[in-house]
Amino acid sequence: MAYELYYWDGLQGRGEFVRLALEEAQAPYVDVARGAKKNGLGTDALLAALDTEAPYPPYAPPFLKDGDLTIAQTANILFYLGPKLELAPRDEGLRYVANGLQLTIADLVTEAHDTHHPIASGLYYEEQKAEAKARATDFIDNRIPKFMGYFERVLAQNPHGPKHLVGGALTYVDLSLFQIVEGLRYAFPKATKHFADHYPHCVALHDAVETRPHIAAYLASPRRIPFNETGIFRHYPELDKAKR
């Protein structure tokens, strides 16, 4: 049976980390909110699944249904799917290492979101522009270097070599780091201009993921929603700045 992915239509957002894994593995899945209403899909189906009186409702998208099981939270979905999609380390201990890295990626994603919404996610960006500029400046000066420097170090210290974050083969964490590099470059083209100099292993990993046949086909397909200003990574030129 196909996996059912529930995520908002019209943006990559956190759902994209799950999509990349499903696409790389060529796993059958339904992107529920993007389906047709006449087939029982669409945003109404997503809202109904959130509003359920069933046990253990999810807090927010993304969530995944696999038969009777509903799994919420991006990193949790990937932890669950990883072994099934053969995108997790075989060693059980390393699966927890992968999950720890994925949760650090999740922290970076939250901070990227908060560059344009530092005060309230329920207010418009335009209502918190001054605060967004201050937070984005700190993000570029301090937080991106801390996170990216960390991932670069993890790659450099991987005993299997710097091509993967965990172990000697592709995992979902590598796919997520690709998405981080893509997203940061989209949102902050000036700040990320010298990424290849500062984080060569991360950029090499990004480039290797981008050219994998299933990923390349996905990125060229209409299933890949373009980055836009409703997602996590938003390009507001006034928040960007050059970084040596």
Per CB under 8 A, residues contacting its own copies are 53-60, 63, 68-73, 75-76, 79-80, 93-94, 96-97, 99-101, 103-104, 107, 110, 114, 118-120, 122-123, 131, 134-135, 138, 142, 147, 150, 153-154, 157-159, 166
In angstroms, what CA-CA distances link 159 with 39, 78, 92, 105, 179? 49, 23, 17, 21, 24
The answer to whether 154 touches 168, Cβ cutoff 8 Å, is no
Closer CB to its own copies, 55 or 213, in the complex: 55
Residue type, 192: T
Closer CB to its own copies, 48 or 216, in the complex: 48
What is the smallest separation between the CB atom of 60 and its own copies, expressed in angstroms? Answer: 8
Give the separation between CA 157 and CA 151, rounded to whole angstroms.
10
What is the smallest separation between the CB atom of 76 and its own copies, expressed in angstroms? Answer: 5
Give the separation between CA 163 and CA 178, rounded to whole angstroms.
12
Closer CB to its own copies, 68 or 126, in the complex: 68
Q: Is the peptide bond before 62 cis (omega within 30 degrees of 0)?
A: yes
Closer CB to its own copies, 103 or 204, in the complex: 103
Closer CB to its own copies, 179 or 225, in the complex: 179
What is the smallest separation between the CB atom of 213 and its own copies, expressed in angstroms? Answer: 29
The secondary structure element, H or E, covering residue 29 is strand 29-31
Q: How many CB atoms lie within 10 A of CB 152?
A: 19
What is the smallest separation between the CB atom of 135 and its own copies, expressed in angstroms? Answer: 5
What is the smallest separation between the CB atom of 181 and its own copies, expressed in angstroms? Answer: 17
